[in-house]
Amino acid sequence: MKNIFKIAALGAVLVMGTTSCEKDSNNVIDQVFDGVTSGAVLRTINIVSNELPLGDESASFQVEIEEQDAQDGDLLESVDVYLTFADGSADEGDSSGGTTDEVFIRNIPASEFSPGPFGLPRTTYTITLSEMLSAVGLTGDQIFGGDTFTTRMSLNLTDGRVFSVDNAGGIITGGFFASPFQYTTPVVCPVGEEEFLGAYQITNGVPG
């Protein structure tokens, strides 16, 4: 009789053990991850140039980017590029302290990307100052040092999802992934080699 009770107890334990291993739809962890999907980023590999000296319309913004998604780049459809100008020197130039509306520059298809060292798609995007001015409807004499051009990128996936700066968290834009989705390029005043030669004494006019 004791053996019968032992066998019955063991059977109950096995049933309970089997039941506890089955998925419970009410588990907290299942609720946390319910509906969670993997996104995608445009990782900054190298900012080649990001300065626009006055008078040099061949100067450019150039950046190398890498697309990363849950399928190792297979979800990449294209990248849209947009541009905005902001006048940071209202007393100079002739842009009246304005900020232009964002304008569409171009679409970069997946075919213009090529596999990088880790097999993920990479490309280098370049836009010159001359192209920037034309896009926002300005001329070279309407800009001055302190003005900025902002290039924004929008990543389009084959499943219809779109990622850009407006739906990327801080860990994406400024963390490990280095994926800000947008870059601000300043207009600068070039300093000639013949300027500011010799020794100078600098005085701080603000106490402390």
Q: Using alpha carbons only, what angle is made at residue 49 by residues 86 and 74, rounded to the nearest 5 degrees?
A: 95
Instruction: Look up residue 99 and give its DSSP letter.
Output: B
Closest Cα partner for 156 from 109, 119, 112?
Answer: 109
Q: Is the pLDDT of residue 24 over 70?
A: no
pTM: 0.73
Residue 95: the pLDDT is: 56
Residue 169: the pLDDT is: 61
Q: Is the pLDDT of residue 178 over 50?
A: yes
Of 10-19, 57-66, 78-87, 107-116, give the lowest mean pLDDT range: 10-19
pLDDT in tens, 29-70: 343 334 445 789 999 999 999 999 999 999 999 999 999 999
Distance of alpha carbon 59 from alpha carbon 164, whole angstroms: 26
Residue 204: the pLDDT is: 81
Closest Cα partner for 122 from 140, 108, 136?
Answer: 108
| Burial grade of 27 (CB within 10 A; 0-12, 13-18, 19 or more) | exposed
Q: Using alpha carbons only, what angle is made at residue 207 by residues 205 and 208, rounded to the nearest 5 degrees?
A: 125
What are residue 64's DSSP bridge partners? Answer: 46, 124
Q: Is the pLDDT of residue 15 over 70?
A: no
Half-sphere exposure of 170 (CA within 13 A, CB side): 0
Closest Cα partner for 147 from 80, 101, 100, 196?
Answer: 100
Residue 16: the pLDDT is: 40
